[in-house]
Amino acid sequence: MNGSDFDWGPLLEGGPLFLGILNLTPDSFSDGGRFQAPEAALDQALRLVEAGAGMLDLGAESTRPGAAALAPEEEWQRLAPVLAALAREQIPVPLSLDTRHAEVARRGLASGIAVLNDVSGFSAPAMLALAQESGCGLIAMRSRSQGEGFLMPPYDDPAPREAGTAVQELRDLRDRLQGAGINDGRVLLDPGFGFGTNFQEDLALWKSLPGLPGALGWPVARFCIGISRKRFLATRAGRPGLSPSERDGLSAAAHAEALAWGYQVFRTHALG
């Protein structure tokens, strides 16, 4: 980063920022296996940028419910040829790397990655140390772990839930990064819809979004909303059987809803 800290400000000056999701996994919940080959990944990257993505978010380890943890070396083997292809094409937007492994993150930064997106919220000491020393951009997501994976409770539990626990977890995440001396301007916070939450808690968390910046003392522009193709959207629409690839209209409507509340950054599988 040329000795200076990453700043999200310039990327947010032209309106909402869409991070185009580029899954390099064989088993992602949405489009696993479609973009593993470097040529296919490059084609999808170009489609996303042409459609308006201002950043690409690459992920090579699936975090879908029940997914097995991936060894860092295997994760890197999936990433390296795609990063090389994107570099050869000189993709004109910054790249974000969705990883929770410090060795993968470090190699990604050396290969031109500008942002680290950690679904475990930089809870691992090695990831937090890398965040401190690198100066790169950070996306830190609230989640609940279970062993090497993520806690995924039954999604259709009908008992009413409140958002307080998830909001406190997001507050704790914020405090962890601030306590490490990391500049707030480098950081986007992600509420983590579906990560340890069922539908009722996701619904309460969604309804809390208008007041969340005030509750956390955190600017609305520095949140990242990752709701694209989530089962929350299908369940909320009364169509729980809708496949992920059929949820893009619901995703766009949710983005518009959040935009009206002032949110500006969205991870998305499709634009337009």
Euclidean distance between CA atoms 18 and 269, whole angstroms: 10
In the residue annotation, 267 being an active-site residue is answered as yes
In the residue annotation, 207 being an active-site residue is answered as no
pLDDT at 64: 64
pLDDT at 14: 85
Q: Where are the domains of the chain?
A: 9-268
- For residue 267, give both structure tokens: 């991870």
Given 186, 230, 231, 247, the catalytic residue = 230
Residue 149 β-bridge partners: 146
pLDDT at 28: 55
pLDDT at 1: 37
- For residue 68, give both structure tokens: 């097995």
What's the CATH code, domain 9-268?
3.20.20.20
Given 142, 186, 222, 267, the catalytic residue = 267
Point out the residues of the chain with pLDDT beneath 50: 1-3
pLDDT at 32: 53
pLDDT at 204: 98
> Please, which residues have CB within 8 angstroms of residue 85's CB and are 6 or more apart in sequence?
38, 39, 41, 42
Euclidean distance between CA atoms 243 and 234, whole angstroms: 8
Assign residue 135 a region (left: φ > 0; alpha: ψ between -120 and 50; beta: otherwise).
left
Place of tokens 């995703």: 251
pLDDT tens readout for residues 241-255? 999 999 999 999 999
pLDDT at 2: 36
CA 55 centroid distance within chain = 12
pLDDT tens readout for residues 90-99? 999 999 999 9
Euclidean distance between CA atoms 61 and 26, whole angstroms: 9
